[in-house]
Structure 1
Amino acid sequence: MSTTSAANPNGSIVIVGATGHLGRLVVEDLLDSGVDAGRIVATGRNTDKLADLAERGVKVRRLDFDDPETLDGAFSAGDRVLLVSGSDVGQRQRQHQGVIDAAVAAGVAQLAYTSGPKADTTPMILATDHRLTEEGIKASGVPATILRNGWYFENYTDQLGTYLEHGAILNSAGDARISAASRADFAAAAAAVLTGPVGDHVGRVYELGGDTAITLTDLAAAITAATGQTVVSANLPPAEHLAALVGAGVPEAFAGILVDVDQAAAAGALEVEGHALSTLIGRPTTSLADAVAAATTANT
C-alpha cells in the first residue's frame, strides 16, 4: 500500500453518490453524529437533488462518473471518501476506476467502497463489477476500506404493493437464507467507518449483513402478519420465474439478473456470517418485522 497523507481531523468527508438513497442516508448520519456540515462534501450528477443539504451548510459538488472533468479537484490530501457503487451494471468498474485514480492522485487518507457480499468469490452477475472494482482499488495502493453490503430489506419491501396485489412473492430462491438489513443500517456502518480512527478501518474488508438471516417464506409470513392479507412465497423453477418476470413487463436482461440473484442466494451467496454490521453501528440490525412494518406504513 502506498504512502499517502494522514487523515486531517478537519479535512473533508466526501460522499460520491449522495443523490442516491444510501449516500443521502450517510450524509444524514454524519450530520446527526455531530460532524460539522462544512466538512461534508455531497456529490452527484444532479446537484439539484442536494439543494436542501447545501442550505444546511453541506458543500455540494457535481460529480459525474462519465464526465472526467468533474473529478478534477474533487478530492484533497487527507480527505476521507466514500464511493457508493453506481447503478449502471456492466459499466461500473470503468466508472469507479476514475474515482479511484482521482483519490490516488489527491492522496486521500481513506477510500471506502460499497461492494457486494462475497464479491471476490460469488458467481452472481451483479458482483462482477464489485470484484473488478475491488481489484482496481487493491492495485492502486490507495488506503481503502471495503464495505461488502449484504442485501437490503428494501430490495423486497419496495415491492410490497406487488406482493399484496398478487398474494405471492415470485422467486426461484427456494429456502435460501438471506442476511438482509435495512439500507439505514448499511449507511450507519459507512458513517462509522468514515468517522472512526482511520487506522481501525484502512485495510479492512467487512462482510456486512443482518444479525438474523431470513427466507422468503419468513418475508411472506411477516407481510401476512403486518397487513392481514395472505402472501406466500411462490418458488418457481428458474426458467418459469424468468418467463413470469418477462410476462409481467420486466426487461429480459434485468429479469435474468433477478433470477441469477435468486440462484446465487440458493447457493448461499446472500448469507453473511458474523455480526460485523451490528458491531460497526453499535446496535442490533433492523429486524424483519420492523422493516415490513415501516414498508406497510409507507404503503398506506
Structure 2
Amino acid sequence: MEPFQEVTSEQDGQPVLFYIESWMNSFPNLTAGFTSRLGGVSEKPFASFNCGLHVNDLSDLVVTNRQRLAETLEMPFDAFTYAEQVHGNEIAVITREDQGKGRASRADAIQSRDGFVTNEKELVLCALFADCVPLFFYDPVLEVAGLAHAGWKGTVLDVAGKTVQAMMVQFGSKPEHIRAAIGPSIGICCYEVDEKVAEPVEKVLTDMNAAPEIKQKVLQAKENQKYMLNLQELNRNFIVKAGILSSNIEVTELCTSCRTDLFFSHRRENGTTGRMAGWIAMRRNLQNKQNES
C-alpha cells in the first residue's frame, strides 16, 4: 500500500498534501508528510504551491504558501524550521533555539545541512525537494524525529545513515525502534545518469557488499552508455545498513518526474520549477487532519 496518502481539503485555496498515513494513525502526536504543487499562490513557472525561497519566485508568495501549510496542519508558523541544503551529509540537531529559522528568509536559515533530528515537541522540521529523495525517521519509544534530503550526492555520502546515527548518539534511539519512510522523488523510470554519477554509486554498492540482485535493482546500464538509477532503493539499503528493520521501512511508489500534475520536478521541468516541502513534527493532542478529511 502506498504510504503517502493524498488528502485534499474541502476548502478552496488549501494545499493538497500527502500524509504518511500509517504513522499518523499509529502515533496520534505525530504529523509527517509531503506537500504537492497544488493549492498555493505562486505563479508560473512556480505554480502554485512552491515552498522554496531559493528558486527566484517572489518571496512574499512563498511565505504565503508556507503559512498556508502551517494553517492546514494547525501548527503555528513560527514552529516551522528550514535550512539551506547543500547536497551533503551534515546533520543538524535542532533545539528550541533553532525553532522558526529560515521560515520567512534564507538569511536566518540553518546553514549547510541536509539532515535534521530533534526531540522537541511543537517544532516542525522542514526540507525542500523537487526530485531528490525525502527521508523521514521516527522513534516512537523516545519520541525523536528526523528528516533528510538525499540527492545522489547526499545518498552516496550516506546522509540516511548519518541521520540515524545522530538519533542514536544525541538521543539514545535504538535502530530497531526507528521507523523510516522514503517519500515522493524521481524514480528509476525517469532518472537517467551518466558515468560521473554511476561510478560513485557502484563504489558504495561494492563497499556495502550489495548482492548482485540489489546492484541490478539500483543501477541498470543502457545501450547509450547511460544508466537508470533507483535512488529510493539505494537509500533503502543505506537505511537497512544503519540497523533499521526492513519491516519498519515504507517506500513510496510516487515518481515526481512522472507526476508533474502533482509535483515539481527539477529534471522534467529543465531546472525551472518550484519545490515541495517534507515535514515532520511531534505535538501533544494532535488532531489527526487525515482522519478528519
Q: Which has the higher helix share?
A: 1
Rg larger for: 1
Q: Which has the higher strand share?
A: 2
What's the TM-score once normalised by structure 1's chain length? Answer: 0.31
What's the TM-score once normalised by structure 2's chain length? Answer: 0.32
RCO higher in structure (CA 8 A, sep ≥6): 2
